[in-house]
Amino acid sequence: MDFINAIVLLLNYTVIPALTYGSQLALGAIFVTLVYGILRFANFATGDMMSFGTMVAVLLTFYFQSLGISFGLLPTALLTIPPAILAMIFYMLFIDKFVFSYYRVKKSPPVQLAMVSVGVMFVTQAIIRIIIGPFDRRFFDGEKFILKANEFKEMTGLNEGLTIKSTQAITIFVTVIVVSIMFWFLNRTKTGTSMRAYSDNEDLALLSGIDPKKVVLITWIIAGILATIGGVLYGLDKSYRPFVYFNNMLPIFAAAIVGGIGNPFGAFLGGYVIAFAEILVTYAYKKFFAYLLPEFMEPDSLMQLLSTDYKFAVSFSILVIVLLFRPSGIFKGKTL
């Protein structure tokens, strides 16, 4: 019984939160990796672009709520995702047309594009703050829990409760669907194949008649979908605050590089690697060992490797270690 209690404890406090957080990171990381692989630059505006999509969703949610429209048990924000995606794609294409395309046509070095994306980051951040302000906003509504700790305890008779928040279930569910569709698209359709060809060897792809404009367009569309969904899911699970989204760019970058930048599947797994590492290293295992070990061996300390303050530092350290030993990432991305 103690053993099952220990497992439930771990599930409740590490595995489920890590899966949720990992899904949110994974969506962002695939966005980074696609832009890097196909448009060939590190997009420092990643976090703020996600923030932009989420902002549209938040505003629409408030509007829908004022109209009295709701999605029953599910959060209203899910209804607002499609229009938010449209707005996001429109914004990205607008930026691409007036900013990025010039450097792409000129074949500027990737560094210059990265610097330009810093400019885009500033502008996007300004737009967001001017429209919605820098404050913390919660836009979650609907049923909060799928499974409450007490219900679980009654059901199974265990000491430890298992809580599943609806946002966690929605995040994992939506991520699985979106990512499966995306991989199907990239691997099975003609357009997806042409995108991968363009990413692998631009000149050869152009020679074989692939239209670069179409590839770029589709890339931004997929990027917009991923950025908005990732951002909204994160906002539903925690809350929406522009500054936090900017900061989230860093673990997202870490996930993309750990997975091997330019490799979407690697980025997907990289998100979970980072999330699990962050949560497992900063979790206090005292109670877990109390269940497993006999009484006289019970630990006194918290059994925590690092305090939760170092959450971000853990993911960055993993990145540094990966860069040291496998510079192309765990799952072989582009060579450096």
Partner 1 sequence: MMQHKNIIAAYSIMILLIIAVGVLQSWTIALTILNYCLISAVMTIGANIQWGYAGLINFGIMGYTALGGLAAVLVNVPPVKEAWKAGGSGMVVSLILIISGVYIIRTVLRKFENSKKRNYIVAAIIVIGFVFIRYISGPAIENIEAIDPAKTGFLGGLGLPIIFSWIVGGLFAAGIAFIVGKIALGLRADYLAIATLLIAEIIVSIIKHEDWLARGVKNVIGLKRPVPYEVDLQGATWFIDLVEKFHSKKLDLITSLSERQDVLNQLVIDASSVYVKLCLAGLFLTVVIILLILTQKALYSPWGRKMRAIRDNEVAANAMGKNVVKEHLLIFILGSAIVGIAGAMMVTNDGLFTPGSYRPMRYTFVIWVMVIVGGTGNNFGAILGGFVVWFLWVEAAPIALFFINFFTAHLEETNAVKQHLIQSAAYFRFLLVGIGLLIIMRYRPKGLIPEKINIK
Part of the chain binding partner 1 (CB under 8 A), chosen from 52-60, 125-133, 177-185, 276-284: 125-133
**114 vs 221, which CB is nearer to partner 1?**
114
| Calpha distance 121→108 (Å, rounded) | 19
Interacting residue with partner 1 among 104, 129, 137, 326 (CB under 8 A):
129
| Calpha distance 62→50 (Å, rounded) | 19
Backbone angles phi, psi at 12, to 5 degrees: -70, -40
Residues making up the chain, counted from first to last: 336
Contact between 104 and partner 1 (CB under 8 A)?
no
Contact between 105 and partner 1 (CB under 8 A)?
no
Contacts of 229 (CB under 8 A, 6+ apart): 27, 81, 85, 174, 175, 178
**229 vs 256, which CB is nearer to partner 1?**
256
In the shown chain, the binding pattern of residues 246 to 285 toward partner 1, with x for contact by CB under 8 A and - for none, equals x---x--xx--x---x------------------------
Contact between 299 and partner 1 (CB under 8 A)?
no
| Calpha distance 134→67 (Å, rounded) | 25
Q: How far is the CB of 257 from partner 1 (least distance, A)?
A: 7
Contact between 123 and partner 1 (CB under 8 A)?
yes
Dihedral angle computed from the Cα positions of residues 204, 102, 27 and 37, in that order, rounded to the nearest 10 degrees = 20
Q: How far is the CB of 88 from partner 1 (least distance, A)?
A: 18
| Calpha distance 31→38 (Å, rounded) | 11
32: nearest Cα among 19, 20, 49, 57: 49
| Calpha distance 316→310 (Å, rounded) | 10
- Only one residue has tokens 């949720």, namely 20
Part of the chain binding partner 1 (CB under 8 A), chosen from 18-26, 59-67, 147-155, 319-327: 319-327
| Calpha distance 238→140 (Å, rounded) | 9
Contact between 316 and partner 1 (CB under 8 A)?
yes
Site for partner 1, rule CB under 8 A = 41-42, 44, 99, 102, 109-112, 114-116, 118-127, 129-130, 133-134, 246, 250, 253-254, 257, 261, 301, 307, 309-310, 312-313, 316-317, 319-320, 323-325, 327, 336
